[in-house]
Amino acid sequence: MADGVGTWNVLEWTQVTTPKHGLEKFLLEAEDVIVHKTGVVLLNTDEAGILAVTNFRLLFVSRASKCIIELGTIPLTTIEKITDDVKLTSVPRNSEKRELLQVIGKDMRVVTFAFLPKTMQRSAVMDVLKRYRKPVQLWELYAFQCDPSKFKNSNPKLRLLKEYYRFFGKRLLHLPEDESYIISNDRWRMTTINSNYTLCPTYPSVLVVPKSISDEELLQAASFRTSRRIPVISWCNPGSGAVLARSSQPRVGPFMSSRNHSDERLVAGLCSSSADSSASRRKLYIVDARPIANALANNVKGGGSESSSNYFKSEVVFLGIDNIHVMRESLSRLREYVDTHGTTSSDGTSSFLRNGGSTWGGGNLSSMSGSASTLGDTGWLTHVQNVLSGAAWIAARIALESASVLVHCSDGWDRTTQLVSLASLLLDPYYRTFKGFQALVDKDWLAFGHPFADRMGIPTVTDLATSTSTEMLTRQSSMGNASSSPLHSQSGSNLAGARGGTNHNQASDNISPILLQWVDCVFQLLRLYPCAFEFSSRFLVDFLDAVLSCRFGNFLCNCERERQQAGISEVCGCIWIYLSDLRAIGGRSHEHFNLFYDPSRHEGPILPPAAALAPTIWPQFHLRWACPSEAHASEFESMWRTMNKKYSETSKAKELADSKAKDLESKTESLSEELRKEKQKSSSALATVNRVRRENLAIKRAVQSLGCRVNLSTNQSHTSSDLMASTYSDDPSDRSPHDLSVSISAIEDAGVVSGGNPLSRVCESMCPFRTKDGCKWPNEQCAQLGSQFVGLKADFGAFENLSIDDQYFHS
């Protein structure tokens, strides 16, 4: 890294006291700047800019590019720790002039800011961060200050019921006001016994249970389970009838001496083939996620695990997954390892140049195994593998043996949630789609009460009338020694810090990356089966970022009851609508879509063998801050996505061209049809003109044979063909009789007698009807008319269309 002298020398002291921050264009809706400081350097990249603390995030804007620097911009709730006691492994020149502030994020980032000395900049930023990073009240969070209409939240209960209906092979379009939505079949039934959250405060209001078990038995069984979390159905196979159920540990007590017959009947109902209790039962596996030593240790505190002798045709299996405290420390070591050995660490020094280049990855260059052992020492990949192996084992028992499986840990809301949701993902291809992933998270993580507020260290609401000290104590023992974290309640308020009014130390002790670890497991499956998932690794990253930011209301509070009490769905936006809108912008070429998705290749369960479950670091999440170039998708995937984008653009252009071609073809056909009609009209008009001309000649000759002369003229300049067409048109509106003048004059008899007319001479010599008094026609017959015009067909009706005035005839 450069020593940074140039960066500091160009900073002007006047920038420090500039009252206007000029950050308006970078702010989100309802985001306000609380404090901002100029002349701050992001030590990771040695870049100067403006550092601001808003009511939503820590915002860093580059002074050179005038753009937000993503590395230095982090939501307040994503910050895990801030410290001004920063010890740089590599001390750059002039570092003694800098006041340092280090920010450690839950999303694997470690960033260090350097402030100008003797300006109180660092103190001002530290004070604001301490106040707003962990608000006292729930509605101080940014999620409550946004307009929820942009990402309007649908009814969480309706989403859960839709998933239940899918189990029963039915569909639910809307939520009735009464309880008419309750359905059942010959094996299972829905029950609203927990509608007021009296059966179990951390369970959803609607449950699916065996049909053979009554609500009274459910109440009796609740007292035998920690936090009253009774065995209920989380997923079921409609074909085989096998179920995946979840619960908390039983209260068997020391020496496993306690029993509860209602609980035993409830568990037995999970493996019945039908509602008939006497019907044959399938095999039941009771999976305890904890190490066996931890389960035995809980016996002393009244907990423990089931005895297979008390549950018919059952087998108890321990998976050995560690508790939340071990996971928290493991992720912390992984974050430190990645920051230390990344391309550029939080102190701005390349890992290749650290310690003079004598070591790499924590070991000597002569022994490359040193880096692997350091990564292995974090334990993270081992924990991920344990969760994956446990879920794969559960899925195989259900898919291959048609057995039922009941999963629990201590309280049934951490390791149990991981295993049940991951096994469901392996069993049901629906959960490997966007809609299915949402339904899975809504059901197993939100509805069944994973304590997000506790695990993320944010405040929640507590109903003191229903939250007993026993329930709060069980929250603390999630997975370790409850006595090590005594509760300190806040009197006179229904609002509390993390879970039930615990103090700051307790809230920090309950923070753990349980959801992050589960999403990491999903990524490992996506890596193994790239054609089985509709969504991509980038979708999982954006999903985690949105959850950790607390920008939306879905993952606030600890359970459905608390979210309903706070009115979360009405006043906060929905994360699923936000992610859906992101995908809608880019269409199928958006980076959330998996380019290799082919549902026909994995239409059934995915059952990975144990040898294949060897997890790796998740580059897009674990390495994106310390190794940004390596964190991007593989070169092959990047090229594929680029080609797919170009293909999509080409396809759209082709569709547009095809559409235009179809329009031109349609217009051409229309013009051809019009031309054809015009030709038909022209041919028809020409035939009419010819017909009229022939009739006109025949009439003229007929009139002339009467000894009359016919003259036709028009008042307007029309051709004879136009005149005939107009006069004899079939359409009366086209006729203009007043435009036609017809004059008929009689030929003088003298001309006839004198023999001026050749016809007269013919008549004199040949006409048998002529007398000595001359021609008597028209009073008598005419031999000429009877011979010359025999067979003449004339339209004599045309005379009716002629307007002949009397004045045209001479006296």
Report DSSP letters for 701-765, one per residue.
Answer: HHHHHTTEEEEEEESS---HHHHHHHHT-SSGGG--GGGEEEEEEEPPHHHHHTT-SHHHHHHHH
H/E stretch holding 645: helix 635-705
Residue written as token pair 């929905």: 574
Residue 721's alpha-carbon distances to 131, 391, 694, 733, 792, in angstroms, are 100, 95, 11, 18, 22
Known binding residue 298? Answer is: yes
Cβ–Cβ under 8 Å, residues 217 and 265 = yes
What pLDDT, on the 0 to 100 scale, is given for residue 12?
Answer: 35
Known binding residue 94? Answer is: no
Known binding residue 690? Answer is: no
Known binding residue 415? Answer is: yes
Known binding residue 85? Answer is: no
Known binding residue 74? Answer is: no
Q: Buried b / exposed e across 461-474, counting CB within 10 Å, b at 16+? A: bbeeeebeeebbbb
Cβ–Cβ under 8 Å, residues 513 and 104 = no
Low-confidence stretches of the chain (pLDDT < 50) are 1-19, 355-373, 463-504, 718-729, 735-738, 748-756, 787-794, 806, 808-809, 811
What pLDDT, on the 0 to 100 scale, is given for residue 634?
Answer: 59
pLDDT tens readout for residues 607-647: 999 889 999 999 999 999 988 888 776 566 667 767 777 88
What pLDDT, on the 0 to 100 scale, is given for residue 783?
Answer: 60
Cβ–Cβ under 8 Å, residues 741 and 710 = no
What pLDDT, on the 0 to 100 scale, is given for residue 96?
Answer: 56
What pLDDT, on the 0 to 100 scale, is given for residue 469?
Answer: 40
Pairing relation of β-strands 243-246 and 284-288? unpaired
Cβ–Cβ under 8 Å, residues 247 and 417 = no
Rounded (10°) angle between helices 514-528 and 324-340: 70
Give the span between the Cα atoms of 256 and 709, in whole angstroms: 137
Known binding residue 411? Answer is: yes
Known binding residue 323? Answer is: yes
Known binding residue 153? Answer is: no
| Active-site residue, from 409, 550, 767, 782 | 409
What pLDDT, on the 0 to 100 scale, is given for residue 643?
Answer: 78
Known binding residue 461? Answer is: no
407: number of Cβ within 10 Å: 28
pLDDT tens readout for residues 254-279: 877 899 999 999 999 998 765 555 55
Give the span between the Cα atoms of 46 and 60, in whole angstroms: 13
H/E stretch holding 416: helix 415-427
Single pTM value for the model: 0.74
Annotated catalytic, 146? no
Closest alpha carbon to 86 in 56, 55, 112, 48:
112
Cβ–Cβ under 8 Å, residues 322 and 293 = no
Known binding residue 299? Answer is: yes
Known binding residue 410? Answer is: yes
What pLDDT, on the 0 to 100 scale, is given for residue 7?
Answer: 39
Known binding residue 409? Answer is: yes
Residue 554's alpha-carbon distances to 173, 375, 424, 439, in angstroms, are 21, 34, 21, 13
Residue 234: what are its φ and ψ, rounded to 5°? -105, -35
